[in-house]
Amino acid sequence: MPSSSTDDSPRSDRDSAFTATALPHLSTIARVATALTGDAADTEDLVQETFLRAYRHWHTFQPGSDCKSWLATICRHTFAELRRRENRSVAVDDQELESLAAARVHSTARAKGVDDMFARLDLGPAIAKAIRALEPHYRDVVLLVDVDGFSYEEVASSLEIPVGTVRSRLYRARRHLQEALLDFAIDAGYASPSYTLPPNHPGERRNA
């Protein structure tokens, strides 16, 4: 909202030009925004942001040129930017959900009596098999980070993907692996809530 107390002549010119030239395209831009977002609430946000930016950058508008196209361009750029921002926050949230999933796998493992499976069993062959079964995107990242010990950044630059993508894939891969190993331990007959492992028998195999 322009403040009336600071109204001076240039400000008024700008406001009246904006009112006469930009605002009449509001409905058109709303249709552009609807086409982009496909969602009523998002459309309103996008239209609002588009006109705010247009107003702030009004000095870059060439008088006499096509204002509708100029606004539509701002609208598209704004949409792309908002979407990028949204994807980023979704990605971060996704990573946190993978962390929660890891805790859930642990709870299941405990309920099934296999929460000490990493100490108790030689899971090497099962881990290798589970990693090979991953989709290549996941497999490569988990091999490089968890097996070979590269940093997120090193993997990001060698695979030419963003660090956030490395993390998302890595955490997802870990979840798949944990679930596969849990299934393996249960299927192999180690699961038994009532079964208590004799002490000092870490490699003991016992089938149900």
Binding site for another protein (CB under 8 A): 95-100, 102-103, 105-107, 109-110, 115, 118-119, 123-125, 127-128, 131, 142-143, 146-149, 152, 167, 170-171, 174, 177-178, 181
* Cβ nearer to another protein, comparing 63 with 136: 136
Minimum separation from the CB atom of position 84 to another protein (A): 22
* Cβ nearer to another protein, comparing 69 with 151: 151
* Cβ nearer to another protein, comparing 125 with 199: 125
* Cβ nearer to another protein, comparing 44 with 116: 116
Name the DSSP class of 143.
I
Minimum separation from the CB atom of position 184 to another protein (A): 12
Tokens of 146: 């968890």
Minimum separation from the CB atom of position 123 to another protein (A): 5
* Cβ nearer to another protein, comparing 22 with 127: 127
Minimum separation from the CB atom of position 189 to another protein (A): 19
Please report which helix (H) or strand (E) contains residue 47, including its range.
helix 40-56
Tell me the CA end-to-end span of the chain in Å, nearest whole number. 73
How many C-beta neighbours within 10 Å does residue 164 have?
Answer: 16
Minimum separation from the CB atom of position 106 to another protein (A): 4
Cα distances (Å, whole numbers) of residue 85 to 82, 89, 95:
5, 6, 16
Please report which helix (H) or strand (E) contains residue 181, including its range.
helix 163-187
Cα distances (Å, whole numbers) of residue 98 to 37, 88, 165:
28, 15, 13
Cα distances (Å, whole numbers) of residue 163 to 122, 177, 192:
32, 21, 40
